[in-house]
Every structure is written in C-alpha cells, then in structure tokens.
Amino acid sequence: MKIESAKVIVTCPGRNFVTLKITTDQGVYGIGDATLNGRELSVVSYLEDHVIPCLIGKDPRRIEDIWQYLYRGGYWRRGPVTMSAISAVDTALWDIKAKMAGMPLYDLLGGKSREAVMVYGHANGIDLSETVDEVGRYIDMGYRAIRAQSGVPGIKDAYGVGRGKMYYEPADAALPSETVWDTRKYLNFVPKLFDKLRDTYGFDHHLLHDAHHRLTPIEAGSLGHRLEPYQLFWLEDATPAENQEAFKLIRQHTTTPLAVGEIFNTIWDAKDLIQNQLIDYIRTTVVRAGGITHLRRIADFAAIWQVRTGSHGATDLSPVTMGAALHFDVWVPNFGIQEYMRHTPETDAVFPHDYTFDKGFLYPGETPGHGVDIDEVEAAKYPYKPAYLPVARLEDGSMWNW
C-alpha cells in the first residue's frame, strides 16, 4: 500500500483553515488540520515544498515511522510550523488507518474510557453584567463548564471579548490591530467578576478563566490566591511559559489549578512543568503537538504526575482537529476537559462531521476514521484572506504579550 498523492486545501469560510488530504493507491483518503493562526501560508509551504514530496510512495500504514522520519529526519526539530505540518500528516494517517480497519478512531486507540467528553464554552461580555448574563445563557444551553472573559473597565479591547457572541474571532485584520493592556485594572476587576458569578449562579458549574500570558509570576500568584474562594476549574496561561521555573513561584502562592500548553509543540515544552507538578492541566492539542502519535505520549507522561488533559479547542483549530481531539478525549485515561468554541455554519458546511453536542458534552461519531471530511467544492468558494491576531501594548507604548 502506498501514498499516491497529497494536497493542501486552504479555505476561509469566515477564517482561514489549512487542510492536508492524503490519498492512497487503494483510494482511501485521510485528512489532517494544519492551521496555524496568522501564519497559515508558512505551513502550506512547509507541507507542499518539503513534506509532500517525501511522502509520495511511502506506506501509509507506517504512521510511527513516518512521524519519526519527519521529526528526526528533518534535522530542524520542533517549532509551530514544523509541528503543525507533522500533526496534519499524522492525523490524516490515523484517519486512513481507522477507515481501513472500519473503526472509529477511538477504537483503534484502545476504546472508550468514558461515554462523553465534557467541554467548556466561552461566555464573554463587554462588561461585568453582560458577562454574567452570557454565563447564564451558557448554563441554559446545558454547559457544565464555562470560561468567563469580560471587558475590563478602562481597558479597550480586552482579550477574549468577541464582537459576535457565539463565534469569537480574534484574528480580525489584514495587519495586526493594536490593543492596550493595563494589568492593574485587570487585577482589580477579575475577582469581582467571579464573585458576582458565584453569587448569581452558585457553585454547581465549573468556571474557567484565561489570563492569556499577561501576568508576571508574582501577579499570577496573587490573582490565583484572590480567586480561591470562587473555586475555578483552572486559571489558564497565567504567565508566559518559556521560563518554566516561573510556575514554582505561582504554585507557592495559590491552590487555584493551573492550565498551560496551547502553544506547546512537543513533550519537551511540557516536560518540566509536568514532572515538577507545576500545572494541573496540559492543553497541548492534536494540531499543535504532533498529531495523535505525539499527543498520546504527552498524555501518558502527564498521567504519571496526575496532570490531566484540557486540549485547546478555539475556532482557529478546524473541525478536523475537533473531531480527532474528541476521539482522543474519549479514550485518554487522564482526560480533564475539552475546550469547545462553536464554528460558524459556513465552516461546518466545509467540514461535514459526525460529532454532536448534548447538554454540555460532545460525542464523537461512529464513522470509521476521525469522522470529519472536507467538501472541496464548498471549500473552493472561500479563498484565503490574510488575517492577523492582535498585538498588545502597555499604556506607555511598550510591547506586551497579547
């Protein structure tokens, strides 16, 4: 059996998605997501110019060997462009293998460890009262877990506050838009938000919050401490994770659970945080961290240290990643939670899929493979459109972490 062809499909049904489709000489094909928000075309080039020529003629059943070939054999290891490309190949090959076996992917991984995948949705509002209402709306939709982000008095364009409510899309301009950040105002506001949320809705739902890399370690420790009465499920990306020692300082000051990892690409990015038990949830995902093959290595390593999974699932990850992630989630023993931002109806039409949402849980379907396809005719209606994520500056003009 051989890989006969592979092609990259770029489509923009509201936002850009990059999809790899690998076809075998037996007519079976598999698809993988290769979308890297704001840097989409670099992954397209990496795949078309450097990966696809090496794939043609290889045996698609040898998923592990192809993974090692692209990772070790590439010499220049890791990084988001390389790893998104490897992820796409790996996801497509698992799709092919599961289709050939006539099994949903989770069965090939070892079968279900649970019946359903608990997801968290995104409630956001321009101010405290709108955010409180939004959380109520998510509770009414059946969500068990809700991430709350709110506009902060005195800060224009705070992270996580969307224009259209259901379909938050931060990559909003052909060149990066500039936002202004003020940590003091944010730290002053966030405990009030969670106080109001617990006061209004009680403690039966999981609440989450994403600080989106904005804080220093000591600020993060202080915020975590002040949020303890509200029992968050997690505080995410409290500080940038390049320096992982930083998390020791945060841990010294708070028992609020910590989640990190949506921008990590390999087990090496997560190793120290996990084995020193400096985090509670690892947010690496199928598209960013080397596909199913590598994600499962990270999850198995994390299990030893009682760190659970909490995969990234923003709308810039295509339904292909969501589908593959759900098969992974329903299998992985140390599952924690799955992020779920709904895609637009246009995106859902480009990527027909069999996963379903019911009362706060997602369910992978039973179709052989990962259950997500691409409608190429539909995809062709939406040509690539440059779109960048914003950047952030402090009030004095210094660049900050967005």
Q: Counting every residue, how long is the chain? A: 402
Positions annotated as catalytic residues are 159, 212
Cβ-contact 351, 95 below 8 angstroms = no
Size of the site for ligand GCO (CB under 6 A): 10
Q: Which position's Cβ is nearest Mg ion? A: 210
| Cβ distance to ligand GCO smaller for residue 37 or 256 | 37
Which DSSP letter does residue 353 get?
B
| Cβ distance to ligand GCO smaller for residue 144 or 209 | 209
| Cβ distance to ligand GCO smaller for residue 67 or 264 | 264
Q: What does the binding site for Mg ion look like in residue numbers (CB under 5 A)?
A: 210
Name which of Mg ion, ligand GCO, none residue 35 binds, using a CB cut-off of 5 to 8 Å depending on partner kind: none
| Cβ distance to Mg ion smaller for residue 97 or 122 | 122
The helix-helix angle for 80-101 and 319-331 (nearest 10°) equals 70
- As measured in angstroms, the least distance from the Cβ of 311 to ligand GCO is 10
> Using CB under 6 A, which of 316, 330, 347, 368 touches ligand GCO?
316
CB atoms inside a 10 Å sphere around CB 79: 12
254 counts as binding ligand GCO under rule CB under 6 A: no
265 counts as binding ligand GCO under rule CB under 6 A: no
List the one residue out of 130, 180, 188, 136 whose CA is nearest residue 158: 180
Q: Which helix (H) or strand (E) holds 208?
A: strand 206-210
210 counts as binding ligand GCO under rule CB under 6 A: yes
Footprint on residues 105-164 left by ligand GCO (CB under 6 A): none
The helix-helix angle for 291-304 and 80-101 (nearest 10°) equals 100
- As measured in angstroms, the least distance from the Cβ of 264 to Mg ion is 12
212 counts as binding ligand GCO under rule CB under 6 A: yes
339 counts as binding ligand GCO under rule CB under 6 A: yes
What is the rounded CA–CA span in Å between residue 362 and residue 356? 6
Name which of Mg ion, ligand GCO, none residue 370 binds, using a CB cut-off of 5 to 8 Å depending on partner kind: none
The helix-helix angle for 291-304 and 267-275 (nearest 10°) equals 10
170 counts as binding ligand GCO under rule CB under 6 A: yes
Q: Which of the ranges 64-72, 216-224, 310-318, 392-400 carries the binding residues for ligand GCO, by CB under 6 A?
A: 310-318
CB atoms inside a 10 Å sphere around CB 371: 25
φ, ψ at 97 (rounded to 5°): -60, -45
| Sole residue written with tokens 């003091």 | 184
- As measured in angstroms, the least distance from the Cβ of 160 to ligand GCO is 7
- As measured in angstroms, the least distance from the Cβ of 332 to Mg ion is 20
Q: Which of the ranges 98-106, 125-133, 309-317, 345-353 carries the binding residues for ligand GCO, by CB under 6 A?
A: 309-317
What is the rounded CA–CA span in Å between residue 319 and residue 374? 9
| Tokens coding 180 | 């202004």
> Using CB under 6 A, which of 40, 262, 269, 280 touches ligand GCO?
262
314 counts as binding ligand GCO under rule CB under 6 A: yes
Beta-bridge mates of residue 359: none
- As measured in angstroms, the least distance from the Cβ of 183 to ligand GCO is 17
What is the rounded CA–CA span in Å between residue 177 and residue 396? 17
| Cβ distance to Mg ion smaller for residue 168 or 384 | 168
- As measured in angstroms, the least distance from the Cβ of 55 to ligand GCO is 27
- As measured in angstroms, the least distance from the Cβ of 263 to Mg ion is 9
What is the rounded CA–CA span in Å between residue 294 and residue 66? 12
Maximum separation of any 2 CA atoms in the chain, in Å: 61
| Cβ distance to Mg ion smaller for residue 70 or 208 | 208
33 counts as binding ligand GCO under rule CB under 6 A: no
91 counts as binding ligand GCO under rule CB under 6 A: no
| Tokens coding 257 | 């659970």
Q: Are strands 361-363 and 117-125 parallel, antiparallel or unpaired?
A: antiparallel
Cβ-contact 114, 318 below 8 angstroms = no
CA 67 to chain centre: 21
Find the radius of gyration of the CA atoms of the chain: 20
261 counts as binding ligand GCO under rule CB under 6 A: no
Chain residues in the site for ligand GCO (CB under 6 A): 37, 170, 210, 212, 262, 312, 314, 316, 339, 389
